[in-house]
């Protein structure tokens, strides 16, 4: 297997997931800011032109972070980061989807339309007037997640893919916008402390760029 990775929160999700599983996967760095991800060589690997992409030994390419993590969970079920039972796995996917729809998608779009406008190529239509509204929508999403957090992690006592996704995107915000992203969100603030104290998370975050 080989993981094509880059700057950004989605590859960070894959790397944390791999570290939590105790897997060792060789990596190849793609420079998205130099638009290497839009070059013919990388488009031949992932026509979506984005990272991460996982190339299996038989040549099959899996992109989309959740699909990569799903594959790795099947390969290495322990520790479970989706879940051990059908109900746990569905609950994890529910939280993952909520994190994506309510927070990471509007946040990412707000960056592409704002701070990153014109910096990653013309494959993403930039709608500058949408940036502020999407930023506010992402903030609304964070506040909703704060209101829903009732255990140590999003899925209660279980640390899951949903926590990894939320952490990777929360941690990426300060690279593009000054300030504490969890200001005024005490439950999420404490949640982040629990997540970053996990050895696999801490070592992955320390090793290179977000």
Ligand X SMILES: N[C@@H](CCC(=O)N[C@@H](CS)C(=O)NCC(=O)O)C(=O)O
- Binding interface with ligand X (CB under 6 A): 6, 8-11, 32, 37, 49-51, 64-65, 120-121
How far apart are CB 44 and ligand X at their closest, in Å?
A: 15
How far apart are CB 42 and ligand X at their closest, in Å?
A: 9
Pick 34 or 147: Cβ nearer ligand X: 34
How far apart are CB 3 and ligand X at their closest, in Å?
A: 12
**From CA 110, how far away is CA 9, in angstroms rounded?**
14
- From the CB of residue 48, how many other CB atoms can be counted at a distance below 10 Å? 14
In this structure, what token pair is assigned to residue 15? Answer: 């790397």
| Pure H helices in 77-185 | 86-99, 105-113, 131-148, 161-176
How far apart are CB 85 and ligand X at their closest, in Å?
A: 25
**From CA 65, how far away is CA 56, in angstroms rounded?**
15
How far apart are CB 69 and ligand X at their closest, in Å?
A: 10
Pick 18 or 32: Cβ nearer ligand X: 32
Pick 137 or 189: Cβ nearer ligand X: 137
Residue nearest ligand X by beta-carbon distance: 8
Distances from the Cα of 21 to the Cαs of 14, 49, 72, 73, 141, in angstroms? 11, 26, 8, 8, 29
Pick 118 or 193: Cβ nearer ligand X: 118
Q: Are 20 and 198 in contact (CB under 8 A)?
A: yes
Pick 24 or 125: Cβ nearer ligand X: 125
């Amino acid at each position: 297997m080989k993981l094509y990775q880059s700057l950004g929160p989605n590859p960070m999700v894959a790397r944390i997931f791999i570290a939590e599983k105790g897997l060792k996967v060789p990596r190849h760095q793609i420079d998205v800011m130099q638009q290497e991800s839009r070059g013919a060589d990388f488009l031949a690997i992932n026509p979506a032109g984005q990272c991460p992409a996982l190339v299996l030994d038989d040549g099959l390419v899996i992109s989309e972070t959740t699909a990569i993590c799903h594959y790795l969970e099947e390969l290495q079920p322990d520790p479970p980061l989706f879940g051990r039972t059908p109900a746990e796995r569905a609950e994890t996917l529910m939280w993952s989807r909520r994190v994506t729809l309510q927070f990471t998608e509007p946040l990412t779009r707000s960056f592409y339309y704002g701070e990153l406008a014109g910096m990653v190529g013309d494959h993403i239509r930039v709608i500058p007037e949408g940036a502020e509204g999407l930023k506010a929508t992402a903030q609304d999403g964070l506040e909703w997640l704060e209101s829903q957090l009732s255990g140590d992690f999003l899925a209660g006592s279980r640390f899951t893919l949903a926590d990894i996704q939320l952490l990777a995107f929360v941690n990426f915000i300060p690279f593009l916008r000054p300030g504490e992203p969890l200001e005024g969100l005490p439950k999420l603030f404490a949640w982040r402390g629990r997540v970053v104290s996990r050895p696999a998370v801490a070592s992955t975050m320390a090793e290179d760029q977000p």
